Amino acid sequence: MTGCQMKPTKVGETQTREFVQVMQKAQRPLEISEHTQILDVRSSFDYGLNHVQNSLYFPWENLAESRQSGEVLRNKHQAAQRLALLGLTPSSPVVIVGYGPAGKGEEGRLAWTLLYLGFQDVQISSVEALRKTMTTQATPPPQNVPEWPLHPREEMQIDKAGFLKWAHDERQRGEAHVYILDVRSPQEYLKRPEAKSSNPGIDAINIEWTEFFTPQGRPNVRFRHKLGALGISTGNRLLIVSNRGVRSAAVAYALLSLGYGHTQNFTGGWDSLGSAK
């Protein structure tokens, strides 16, 4: 049991060190330099109408198997190739803009995916916060860079078997200080009990994903107080779940940027469980 308790702390400390840039920038207003690449995850229609100057249209689905499953792109070579075509490498500073809390977590999902793929400097924001820099002019094509070796941070996600292992053992979760956060809306949480009925023993704390962000779409640093009131500290292991891993990925990104270094996204979400026992 001691080993189970100590291992998450070590991994959490490692992730905290890896995400130091994300954590530092989450404490400050949005930072954009001449080297920053802005990615827009809104619909192609909205991007075409008006977008931040020199931003590129790049929805989160470009790095996923499908919109329906939410699974991360299995072909990591293809993921690196798509990002290299945008002129991006893991050392590139990136800002991802979207609908903010009015959306469905799209920019947070892409931000989480980039961190998973090894990026170091990723910020997110509602596009409305950059309204003064928006234009209808087309963005010049990006300058491609050579494809780079990709080293995913596999510890940032948890698979179905791992999730169910923790979900069905409440005693073990308590002893190891593991918390499951269901970040769907309260309406979804209450009206869709199928995950609990088909998987007895699963218990989760329901906090809607928008609470983790400011109205400007930035990680809400003040939310640490609410988590503390629930007995959740930065050293605890947090498993984040939504329907298909989009909103949960947004929350996972926010938590990592707030210093919760051992946060894992259940990428498949409730929809992937079906009637699994």
Q: What is the pLDDT along the chain (277 residues), one digit of tens a residue?
A: 333 443 455 555 556 678 999 999 999 999 999 999 999 999 999 999 999 999 999 999 999 998 888 889 999 999 999 999 999 999 999 999 999 999 999 999 999 999 999 999 999 999 999 999 999 999 999 999 999 999 999 999 999 999 999 999 989 999 999 999 999 999 998 875 544 444 445 789 999 999 999 999 999 999 999 999 999 999 999 999 999 999 999 999 999 999 999 999 999 899 988 744 3
Q: What is the pLDDT of residue 15?
A: 61
Largest CA distance in the chain: 59
Looking at residue 69, its amino acid is: S
pLDDT at 30: 96
CATH 3.40.250.10 maps onto the chain at 2-135, 154-272
Instruction: Specify the residue for token string 């053992």.
Output: 169
Does 154-272 carry CATH code 3.30.365.10? no
Amino acid 16: pLDDT: 62
- Whether residue 150 contacts residue 76, with contact meaning beta carbons closer than 8 Å, is answered with yes
C-alpha–C-alpha distance, residues 138 and 1, integer Å: 57
Closest residue by Cα to residue 166 from 255, 233, 236:
236
Q: Which residues pair with 64 in a beta bridge?
A: 72
Q: Is residue 153 within 8 Å of residue 118, measured between CB atoms?
A: yes
8 Å CB contact between 99 and 126: yes
Q: pTM of the entire structure?
A: 0.91
Measure the N-to-C terminal CA separation of the chain; round to a whole number of Å.
25
Q: Which fold has domain 2-135?
A: Oxidized Rhodanese; domain 1 (3.40.250)
pLDDT recorded at residue 277 = 35
Q: Other CB atoms closer than 10 Å to residue 171's CB: what's the count?
A: 7
H or E element in which residue 20 lies: helix 20-26
Distance separating alpha carbons of residues 110 and 272, to the nearest angstrom: 20
Alpha carbon distances (Å) from 30 to 33, 93, 133:
10, 12, 14
Looking at residue 86, its pLDDT comes to 97
Give residue 276's pLDDT.
41
Can you tell me whether residue 117 is helix, strand or coil? coil
Q: Which residue has the tokens 């169910």?
A: 164
Give the separation between CA 42 and CA 138, rounded to whole angstroms: 16
- The predicted pLDDT at position 191 comes to 74
Ordered strands of the 263-265 beta sheet: 205-206, 178-182, 237-241, 263-265
Element holding 122 (H helix, E strand): strand 122-126
Residue 43 amino acid letter: S
